[in-house]
Structure 1
């Protein structure tokens, strides 16, 4: 079985990459501003400011990861579990996604499909008897 990648890890890497680019940009800006003012330690100050800014970005990046997991990934996992259950024949597995977003709407649509399948299967079973 092929190992699944994580969308959350990919999103985190993209956000972290953006924060690194932003920190480097600020460091370069600091260097040019200090160097143009004649500061002999411009490079050291630019490197230190880049490191400080990147460390400061790590907290929001982690918070973004936690929020994405809570509000998006967990809903996707709930829908995935329901899809797997129903595909294996368990038509009693209900899908309950709270919220008013696209993923909640997807969960509701899947729940309607599950109910329709269950109704059809029950009708077929009655006809066979």
Structure 2
């Protein structure tokens, strides 16, 4: 089974892959930035000034480092949020909207199944249920006439 098939068949695999890919890209970018910073002789003077500031103002420096850490954690949090929203929440809301339509008797509109993962399985089950309901209702209506 290749990577594309694995990602297409599971939402959690897709989320894991994208999150790990983001972490790898972020790590590589960090290494490059650190190399550029520390390969410059003037940077050592800046680091010495930062250490002196940290010694003189430990609370302020701790706040600064905490803020920078928070900023770094926002990247994967935001990525994960948008990924979960687009891959899970939006499709489930679409299915819930379709269920609402069916609950008021609108059985004509076919659900398009565009995924092969768990959400796609739910879409397929939902579509089979819609078709079964339509057949049962049509049969009942024809028997009453």
User: If the length of structure 1 is used for normalisation, what is the TM-score?
Assistant: 0.63
Instruction: Name the structure with the higher helix share.
Output: 2
The answer to whether 1:107 aligns with 2:123 is: yes
Structure 1 residue 112, shift from structure 2 partner = 0.5
Q: 72-81 vs 100-109, which deviates more?
A: 100-109
Task: Compare CA radii of gyration and give the structure with the larger one.
Answer: 2
User: Which residue pairs with 2:16 in the alignment?
Assistant: none
The answer to whether 1:58 aligns with 2:74 is: yes
Structure 1 residue 106, shift from structure 2 partner = 1.3
Higher relative contact order (CA 8 A, sep 6+): 2
Q: How does 1:21-40 map to 2 (within 5 A)?
A: 39-40=55-56
Q: For structure 1, which runs of at least 5 residues remain unmatched after alignment? A: 1-33
Provide the aligned C-alpha RMSD in A: 2.0
Aligned residues: 93
Partner-residue secondary structure (3-state), 1:99: coil
User: Which residue pairs with 1:120 in the alignment?
Assistant: 136
The answer to whether 1:90 aligns with 2:106 is: yes
Which whole-Å deviations, capped at 9, do the CAs of 1:54-107 have from their partners, x for residues lacking one? 122223222211111110011101110110010000011222242222222111
Structure 1 residue 40, shift from structure 2 partner = 4.2
